[in-house]
Amino acid sequence: MASLLESGWQYLITHFSEFQLACLGSFFIHESVFFLSGLPYIFLERAGWFSKHKIQLKNNSPAAQEKCITRLILYHFGVNLPVMLVSYPVFKHMGMKISLPLPSWRVVLTQILFYFILEDFIFYWGHRILHTKWLYKHVHSVHHEYATPFGLTSEYAHPAEILFLGFATIIGPAITGPHLSTLWLWMVLRVLETVEVHSGYHFPWSLSNFLPLYGGSDFHDYHHRLLYTKSGNYSSTFTYMDWIFGTDKGYRKLKALKSDEDEHSSKKM
């Protein structure tokens, strides 16, 4: 497997420049993973499939979904791509590598874990700040136009928010100067995670059913369907920051009530 990956990487670095791979390659991977993982949730909603696993009963109209896609394309080419181009010299300066050999799985695993923890910490505080009155009204309310989120709404946001919270995603790699392959893996995992938590569906196979500290779609969906002053659940990936600072009290109370209701119903049967 390792030799196959190295052969594939050798092909890339032979046929493309470092700039092409780091900027255009990263943009292509981001767009591919984002839309391929996010679009299926639109089709599920329209077809009504897996409706018993949908967190909210309400569906988005086709017009609302199409508006989201149109704006996303504009944001990605108008904001995301320029940021990737500007970030290249920074990552290069911080020691980003592109040549062989590829990093060991231990190095990759350690760096990815560090990125998730750091991103979640910074995102939590940045997200709380965005829920202050002025910033919510003028910036963050764009993201909350969709009280019933679906996968693609994960990156539907005001350009200022894209830059503000995007910092949380790139700061870890900027600090460590990883191999480009690690940066790509981090980007793929982060995109898949944010699409999943905005999916609007909670399946039996959802990661939050198996990973105790992972918030998942149910945790974040609660954030979207409440008023901005009472929403809580500000973290991007994990739940411990909200637990430590008490910003998940409403969510935990709701889950406790639902658990009691389910227990009461089962006793009646």
244 belongs to a structural domain: no
99 belongs to a structural domain: yes
Of the pLDDT bands very low, low, confident and very high (cuts 50, 70, 90), residue 204 is very high
Tokens encoding 68: 């989201």
230 belongs to a structural domain: no
90 belongs to a structural domain: yes
Query: What pLDDT, on the 0 to 100 scale, is given for residue 82?
Result: 95
d(C-alpha 77, C-alpha 206), whole Å? 31
Tell me the chain's radius of gyration from C-alpha atoms: 20
Of the pLDDT bands very low, low, confident and very high (cuts 50, 70, 90), residue 45 is very high
For 196-245, the DSSP string reads HHTSSB--TT-GGGT-TTB-HHHHHHHHHTS-TTT-----SSBSHHHHHT
What percentage of the chain carries pLDDT values higher than 70? 96
83 belongs to a structural domain: yes
Domain limits for position 102: 2-201
Question: To the nearest whole number, what is the mean pLDDT of the chain?
Answer: 93
143 belongs to a structural domain: yes
17 belongs to a structural domain: yes
Query: What pLDDT, on the 0 to 100 scale, is given for residue 227?
Result: 75
pLDDT in tens, 103-121: 999 999 999 999 999 999 9
165 belongs to a structural domain: yes
Provide the domain count of the chain: 1
Query: What pLDDT, on the 0 to 100 scale, is given for residue 3?
Result: 84
